[in-house]
Structure 1
Amino acid sequence: MANLLKPLESKHISLKNRLVMPPMATSKAEEDGKVSKGILDYYKEKSEGGYIALIVIEHSFIMQQGKASNLQLSIADDSVIESLKDLAHIIHKNSSKAVMQLNHAGSAASQEVTGMEVVGPSAVENPRKGNIPKALTKEDIKEIIEAFRQAARRTKEAGFDGVEIHSAHGYLLNQFYSPLSNKRSDEYGGDVLSRIRIHLEVIKAVREEVGEDFPILLRLGAADYMSGGSTVEDAVAACREFEKAGVDILDISGGFNGYIIPGNNEQGYFYPVTEEIKKAVSIPVILTGGITEASAAERLLAEGKADLIGVGRAIYKDSNWARNAVEALK
């Protein structure tokens, strides 16, 4: 059997194959962040036939101050739960698993969108946006951790199969992880283990809320690919701690300024990072990054670069991509 078609049994989740649709923002939500008909139609089309084992829904804001853009999905209050049930149901009907991705944009947010002050780990320029946020107090950090907890509760109540904590692509948790944006001198700044303190507190709060059997994924922007930024060594150290803290699956991306490695466009371009992380942990690792051919996905799995393959843009452009890939490998 082709590697991509092999089922995956992990502690809290069973997947029929190794194909994942990673989160990609559609900007199709209602003005208030609720699920729209456009969102339902989009995920119905993408999950048609159940060829994708796991669909990670686009990032959803956990609180107004962390909203990244207009028409972004919300997981910020209980009023969204009913419409999210419809979304989970549509994907389950097509026999794929569905996970919500929880996010706070931090200094990647803007006052025009949120109507609130922009915040971040430190009052230093955001490498991508160029703005200088207000540094979060420890009290603010506690509120954000609580917002992640409540968002995870809503995810479970809406009937999803798991929750993904977003710490990639220059958003708030990634800002804590990156030495470019985290210049704190308290327990939330310093070496990599201090910079991921907030992650470990979020994981703990989420686990307490959802219980022992509900899958928790974490998406990590593993390396910044910028001078003075986070490194593969940081990622390995961080992922060991995430596993100990109870994360079930690691979803690896990179690039503070977008999911890219400058000058590298080969298929699965984050594999040098996933390969190292995979050696250091025993939980499944998802590899994404420019994968457009089933044969490339198959090769990356065969070479042990990852346990699961995320195909984003190719599925975004062609809703039949997964069907064609699975049929070709049978």
Structure 2
Amino acid sequence: MSHLFQPLSIGELTLKNRIVIAPMCQYSARDGALTEWHLMHLGTLSQSGAGLLIVEATGVSPEARITYADAGLWNDETEAAFARTLASIRLHSDMPVAIQLAHAGRKASTARPWDGGAQIAPGDPKGWQTVAPSPVPHNNADNAPLELDEAGLDKIRRDFAEAARRADRLGLAGIEVHGAHGYLLHQFLSPLANKRTDRYGGSLENRMRFPLEVFEAVREAFPADKPVWIRLSASDWVDGGWDVEGTVALSRELEKRGCAAIHVSSGGVSTGQQIALGPGYQVDFARKVKDAVSIPVIAVGLITEPSQAEGILVNGQADAIALARAMLYDPRWPWHAAAELRASITAPPQFHRSQPHGLKKLFDAG
């Protein structure tokens, strides 16, 4: 039997297979609220047969968003918009849906990517003042962020916890805390962004402190029988930056605190990064984390072919495969993978007649 199509438990959540749809920002929300675009986009992905769908990076406050058009979950209006979208999806899919909770830190207040992605100044109606571990901008053209004081740190912990409670009310199956790609929690981890001299900066233990506190706040606010996990950048791809050894140490501390899985990505904190791109270029990072923890590890990054995904699992480099751009390009990727690997997959009966001739029971009842 194909490893990719075997069940996997993340905490008490059991996935039908090991294909995870990674969170992908759509930059299509209005004042943080999901729109008709999200209903179409997420509804399509919910029919893909993957084991888990993770909703895009969702700001825990207005200033936590990357762009003014990002999704949010910080008030009754944004919660109600999520509820409407999820209710429609659930009419036709039993795929578990999780959410990624995020704070962009110094990488916030930017234009949408197709509008150039540059930071928007605080005085602009679509911009705001950013915050960070230290008053160091992401690049020289950006407005410097404000260094977070104790009150600011406490507010962010509370914002994450409140968003977690809203996620539970929405019936979401799990929470992924965003600690990767140069956003706020990653900024605390990286010596390139964190220049603090208090208990949140300097040593590895100190730099891990705030991300661990945020994780604990989310874990405490979300029901114990639902999983909370984290996405990490395993390397800054810059000398003197955050590295895989730090990632392993952090992963061990997270496991002690009830983390249900580690989703291993890389990069994003520095414009000086030199990433060695290639098929599965982050998989070795996932393997090193997997060797150090007993919880599931999710690999991601230029994994595009079913045989490639299967090989990663067979070789014990990871426990699940996350797909992002591959799913945008081919929302039926799991169907095609099941056909290639001679597995079966859940799909609605309306689609069963699409099964290629000569295949034995590609589709389960859905």
CA distance in 2: counterparts of 1:113 and 1:62, whole angstroms: 20
Counterparts in 2 of 1:61-76, with a 5 A limit? Answer: 61-76=59-74
Identify if the C-alpha distance between structure 1 residues 293 and 258 changes in structure 2 by more than 3 Å, giving closer, same or farther.
farther
8 Å CA contact retained: 1:128, 1:170: no
| Structure-2 residue corresponding to 1:159 | 171
How far did residue 87 of structure 1 move?
2.9
How far did residue 97 of structure 1 move?
1.2
Among candidates 264, 267, 283, match of residue 295 of structure 2: 283
How far did residue 240 of structure 1 move?
0.4
* Letter aligned with residue 138 of structure 1: E
Provide Cα deviations, 1:219-259, integer angstroms capped at 9, x if missing partner: 11121011211111000001001111111111111012589
Residue 252 of structure 2 is aligned to residue 240 of structure 1: yes
| Structure-1 residue corresponding to 2:159 | 147
| Structure-2 residue corresponding to 1:297 | 309
CA distance in 2: counterparts of 1:10 and 1:55, whole angstroms: 13
| Structure-1 residue corresponding to 2:7 | 7
Residue 57 of structure 2 is aligned to residue 59 of structure 1: yes
CA distance in 1: counterparts of 2:341 and 2:9, whole angstroms: 20
* Letter aligned with residue 85 of structure 2: L
Q: Secondary structure at the match of 1:124?
A: coil
8 Å CA contact retained: 2:60, 2:73: yes
Structure with the largest fraction of helix: 1
Q: Percent identity?
A: 36
Which runs of 5 or more structure 2 residues have no equivalent in the other structure?
A: 110-121, 343-366
CA distance in 1: counterparts of 2:68 and 2:257, whole angstroms: 33
CA distance in 2: counterparts of 1:283 and 1:128, whole angstroms: 40
| Structure-2 residue corresponding to 1:250 | 262
Which runs of 5 or more structure 1 residues have no equivalent in the other structure?
A: none
How far did residue 89 of structure 1 move?
3.4
Among candidates 329, 333, 338, match of residue 321 of structure 1: 333
| Structure-2 residue corresponding to 1:20 | 20
Q: Secondary structure at the match of 1:27?
A: coil
* Letter aligned with residue 98 of structure 2: V
| Structure-2 residue corresponding to 1:118 | 130
Identify if the C-alpha distance between structure 1 residues 77 and 163 changes in structure 2 by more than 3 Å, giving closer, same or farther.
same
* TM-score of the aligned structures, taking structure 2 as reference length: 0.85
CA distance in 2: counterparts of 1:117 and 1:220, whole angstroms: 25
Q: Secondary structure at the match of 1:75?
A: coil
Provide the aligned C-alpha RMSD in A: 2.0
CA distance in 2: counterparts of 1:104 and 1:266, whole angstroms: 29
Provide Cα deviations, 1:42-81, integer angstroms capped at 9, x if missing partner: 11111215x1101111111111221211221111212222
8 Å CA contact retained: 1:169, 1:258: no
| Structure-1 residue corresponding to 2:102 | 103
How far did residue 284 of structure 1 move?
0.5
Provide Cα deviations, 1:81-131, integer angstroms capped at 9, x if missing partner: 222123333444322111111111110012347643211001123259754
8 Å CA contact retained: 2:51, 2:95: yes
Residue 78 of structure 2 is aligned to residue 80 of structure 1: yes
| Higher deviation after alignment, 91-100 or 52-61 | 91-100
